[in-house]
């Protein structure tokens, strides 16, 4: 079982004179759906309410066979609202509530029963930055670490988390526990101003005899293609050519496919950490190429619509 912990929310677009247009979103939720579409058993641990927007979230997850062991609560479902003026310029409003008391570690400090059987735990984005839930997620990661591969995507939301120093400190806490980290060059440039994003990624890579920190760090660079570093070296690959409809959910599709490739290579589970650290650049390149194809399929069609396994196997890059 794979586990994704993070926010579920509604992206709401409000245009003058028109009813709001809601869409189910949240980076971790998108990753969970992406993994399910690739045929991996996955559970999503996030919060949403019993309100109509919460029903939309639950229906969306069920549609893609994502397991949801956390029941909805009585707080409003989180909303990220983009209010457009007559020229199309957007002003953003957020109504976010992030807390997950139901996945706290058990009394002995071990993983909550929902996490006990997971071989890979992924988290990131608002879930690892916004209190009080960020601390609860960190404790869950600490408890799961002895048994599961930990993966992390900071997916910075600077319009929500505006304190760069706080975001940097939070990111570094999770990077220190992660086995695989994916970040965009824009994330790294915001977290470390004036530093080459690739150099920041190299600094995140595990060094020294303690094996602290990630075994793999991947940087997505838009049209320049993904780049990755591991102990064996560095590698990059081009972006597959495709007609771009929009880029919504592309990074999340990349992340889901990267994790799917990791599982397909049987590198998930804490007992495989040494094997993951010993991975060669050839295998790493194959993984980021696979993930780049997934992102290319997503950008070729509207919305956060990740590919199925069959689409990736066929090498499809457009709908």
> Domain with 70 in it: what CATH number?
3.40.1190.20
Could you give the CA distance from residue 287 to residue 265 in angstroms, rounded to a whole number? 9
| Predicted local confidence at residue 262, as pLDDT | 98
Name the residue with higher pLDDT: 206 or 270: 270
> pLDDT value at position 318?
40
How many other CB atoms sit within 10 Å of the CB of residue 96?
16
Q: What is the mean pLDDT of residues 214-233?
A: 96
Q: Is the pLDDT of residue 195 over 50?
A: yes
Q: What pLDDT, on a 0 to 100 scale, did the predictor assign at position 312?
A: 86
User: Which position has the higher pLDDT, 32 or 88?
Assistant: 32
pTM listed for this prediction: 0.92
pLDDT over 90 (residue 103) = no
pLDDT on residue 172:
96
Does residue 79 sit within a domain? yes
> Is there a domain that residue 319 lies in?
no
Counting every residue written for the chain, the total comes to 319
What span, in angstroms and rounded, lies between the C-alpha atoms of 193 and 156? 14
In a domain, 301, yes or no: yes
Distance, in Å, from the CA atom of 192 to the CA atom of 183, rounded to the nearest integer, reads 12
C-alpha distances out from residue 296 to 137, 281, 288, 299, Å: 30, 22, 12, 5
The per-residue pLDDT for range 130-158, each reduced to its tens digit, is 999 999 999 999 999 999 999 999 999 88
Residue 260 within any structural domain of the chain: yes
At 285, list the tokens: 């390149």
3-class DSSP state of 275? helix
Q: What is the pLDDT of residue 88?
A: 63
Which structural domain range is residue 211 located in?
A: 2-314
Q: How many domains in the chain?
A: 1
pLDDT tens by residue, 299-318: 888 777 899 898 988 754 44
229 lies in a domain? yes
Q: Is the pLDDT of residue 237 over 70?
A: yes
Tokens of 299: 């950008």
Going by their DSSP bridges, the two strands 149-153 and 180-184 should be labelled as parallel
Q: Is 271 within the bounds of a domain?
A: yes
With a cut of 50, say whether residue 180 has pLDDT above it: yes
pLDDT, the chain, mean: 90
Q: Is the pLDDT of residue 85 over 80?
A: no
């Amino acid at each position: 079982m794979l586990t994704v912990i993070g926010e579920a929310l509604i992206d709401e677009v409000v245009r003058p004179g028109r009813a709001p247009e809601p869409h189910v979103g949240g980076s971790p939720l998108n990753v969970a759906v992406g993994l399910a579409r690739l045929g991996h058993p996955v559970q999503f641990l996030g919060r949403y309410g019993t309100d109509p927007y919460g029903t939309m979230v639950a229906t969306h997850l069920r549609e893609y066979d994502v397991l949801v062991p956390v029941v909805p609560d009585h707080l409003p479902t989180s909303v990220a609202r983009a209010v457009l003026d007559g020229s199309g310029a957007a002003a953003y409003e957020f109504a976010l509530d992030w807390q997950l008391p139901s996945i706290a570690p058990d009394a002995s400090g071990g993983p909550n029963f929902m996490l006990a059987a997971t071989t890979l735990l992924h988290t990131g984005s608002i879930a690892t930055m916004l209190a009080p839930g960020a601390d609860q997620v960190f404790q869950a990661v600490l408890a799961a670490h002895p048994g599961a591969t930990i993966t992390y995507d900071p997916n910075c939301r600077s319009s929500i988390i505006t304190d760069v120093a706080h975001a940097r400190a939070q990111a570094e806490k999770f990077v220190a526990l992660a086995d695989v980290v994916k970040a965009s060059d824009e994330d790294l440039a915001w977290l470390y101003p004036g530093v080459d994003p690739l150099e920041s990624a190299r600094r995140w890579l595990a060094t020294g005899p303690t094996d602290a920190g990630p075994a793999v760090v991947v940087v997505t660079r838009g049209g320049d293609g993904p780049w990755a570093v591991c102990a064996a070296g560095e590698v990059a690959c081009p972006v597959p050519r495709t007609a771009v409809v929009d880029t919504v959910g592309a990074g999340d599709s990349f992340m889901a496919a990267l994790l799917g490739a990791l599982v397909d290579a049987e590198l998930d589970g804490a007992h495989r950490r040494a094997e993951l650290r010993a991975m060669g650049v050839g295998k790493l390149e194959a993984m980021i190429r696979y993930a780049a194809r997934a992102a290319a399929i997503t950008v070729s069609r509207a919305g956060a619509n990740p590919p199925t396994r069959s689409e990736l196997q066929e090498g499809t890059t457009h709908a």
